[in-house]
């Protein structure tokens, strides 16, 4: 993927002070929320703060330079936060409205003039207020129902921004969101997770021999086979090209190697037949690199790097095998 041109301040309608304020607020929010200030999280918060401060020119330029998938993820997250904020405001308003109605009902029965007779005029006015409150309560509930429907739509859209369209695996952006959280969980509770890097052997030959359309079908099949062999709590991400990353939660290095070998055998046994000519069979093999979290690791990238090196050793040793980082 081609790298975008760095943001040049001389082209923009905002100042160094503007950017410093956006950066300061972004970092402040991340720290206050207890999140790690890693690039994906910081980029999202920086984008959100630029929007909040009304720096439209900066927002447009960021959108032009950030990959489209990442922009979509950031926008969906912003929309999700807005929906939650509005829902919270509506809930608070509803409670205030209920309290106001209760207070009127209780006070209405205690209104008497100096002779002990009811002040009917005031009571009539209070009745009208109660009717108005009832109408507002009904409308408020309708609005909240509509908001819940929008929230469902946002959740569906959020899911779409995390999935690789071709293979159905989670995408790189989703991986960069999930792995820092998994790493933080392991550090806190001292529970392991393992990473398996998986790569289709000689994938370029498949594209050259059968064409990219068949190559795409091989990628889809490869993804489906892996997902059929991992648990619901695990996750498969398309790391790039024909390379995939598997997150195995609560799994030791030994357990991850066993899982990787099971996946390797499943793929080796599988036969892919062309839809237009079933007589043509395509068999593939794959290589795997496995690593597991260590207490000495300072970030999830170290776990991924070890798995990537193990994958390199598996390929160098002849492919179609599993290699461990230890």
pLDDT in tens, 49-92: 776 766 666 666 665 555 555 555 666 666 666 666 666 766 77
Distances (CA, A) of 57 to 23, 40, 48, 76, 293: 16, 21, 13, 20, 42
Distance, in Å, from the CA atom of 289 to the CA atom of 305, rounded to the nearest integer, reads 10
- Token output for 193: 């997770």
What would the mean pLDDT of 261-275 be, rounded to a whole number? Answer: 92
Q: Where are the domains of the chain?
A: 12-66, 73-162, 172-324
pLDDT band at 99 (very low <50, low <70, confident <90, very high): confident
Instruction: Please tell me the predicted confidence (pLDDT) of residue 143.
Output: 73
Residue with tokens 């997770």, as numbered in its chain: 193
What would the mean pLDDT of 282-292 be, rounded to a whole number? Answer: 96
Instruction: Please tell me the predicted confidence (pLDDT) of residue 50.
Output: 72
Q: Which of 27-41, 251-265, 305-319 has the lowest mean pLDDT?
A: 27-41
Q: Which of 135-144, 211-220, 261-270 has the highest mean pLDDT?
A: 261-270
Instruction: Please tell me the predicted confidence (pLDDT) of residue 2.
Output: 42
Cβ atoms of residues 290 and 195 within 8 Å? yes
Return the CATH number of the domain spanning residue range 172-324: 3.30.70.270
Q: Is the pLDDT of residue 102 over 70?
A: yes
What would the mean pLDDT of 177-186 be, rounded to a whole number? Answer: 91
- Token output for 113: 């003039």
Q: How many residues does the chain have?
A: 326
- Token output for 21: 């304020």
Strands (DSSP E) contained in the chain are 193-200, 235-240, 243-249, 272-273, 281-282, 286-292, 322-324
Kindly report the pTM of this predicted structure: 0.60
- Strands, sheet with 243-249, edge to edge from the N-terminal-most edge strand: 235-240, 243-249, 193-200, 286-292, 322-324
Q: Is the pLDDT of residue 184 over 50?
A: yes
Instruction: Please tell me the predicted confidence (pLDDT) of residue 115.
Output: 47
* Torsion, Cα of 313, 266, 277, 274 (10° steps): -60
Instruction: Please tell me the predicted confidence (pLDDT) of residue 159.
Output: 64
Positive or negative: CA dihedral 201, 206, 208, 209: positive
Instruction: Please tell me the predicted confidence (pLDDT) of residue 254.
Output: 96
Distance, in Å, from the CA atom of 172 to the CA atom of 170, rounded to the nearest integer, reads 7
């Amino acid at each position: 993927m081609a790298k975008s041109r760095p943001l040049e301040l001389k082209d923009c309608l905002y100042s160094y002070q503007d950017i410093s304020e956006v950066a300061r607020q972004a970092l402040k929010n991340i720290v206050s929320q207890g999140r790690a200030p890693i690039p994906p999280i910081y980029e999202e918060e920086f984008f959100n703060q630029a929007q909040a401060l009304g720096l439209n020119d900066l927002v447009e330029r960021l959108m032009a330079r950030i990959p489209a998938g990442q922009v979509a993820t950031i926008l969906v997250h912003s929309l999700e936060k807005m929906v939650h904020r509005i829902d919270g405001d509506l809930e608070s308003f509803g409670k205030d409205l209920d309290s106001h109605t209760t207070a009127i009902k209780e006070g209405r029965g205690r209104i008497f003039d100096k002779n002990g007779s009811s002040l009917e005029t005031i009571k009539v006015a209070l009745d009208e207020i109660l009717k108005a409150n009832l109408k507002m309560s009904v409308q408020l509930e309708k609005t909240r129902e509509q908001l819940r429907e929008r929230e469902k739509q946002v959740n569906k859209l959020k899911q779409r921004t995390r999935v690789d369209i071709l293979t159905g695996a989670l995408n790189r952006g989703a991986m960069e969101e999930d792995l820092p959280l998994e790493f933080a969980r392991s550090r806190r509770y001292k529970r392991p997770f393992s990473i398996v890097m998986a790569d289709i052997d000689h994938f370029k030959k498949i594209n050259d021999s059968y064409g990219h359309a068949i190559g795409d079908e091989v990628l889809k099949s490869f993804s489906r086979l892996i997902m059929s062999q991992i648990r619901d709590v695990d996750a498969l991400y398309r790391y790039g090209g024909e390379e995939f990353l598997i997150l195995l939660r609560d799994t030791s290095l030994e357990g991850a190697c066993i899982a990787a070998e099971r996946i390797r055998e499943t793929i080796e046994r599988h036969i892919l037949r062309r839809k237009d000519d079933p007589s043509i069979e395509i068999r593939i093999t794959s290589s795997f690199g496995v690593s597991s979290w260590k207490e000495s690791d300072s970030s999830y990238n170290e776990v991924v790097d070890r798995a990537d090196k193990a994958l390199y050793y598996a390929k160098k040793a002849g492919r179609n095998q599993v290699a461990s980082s230890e």
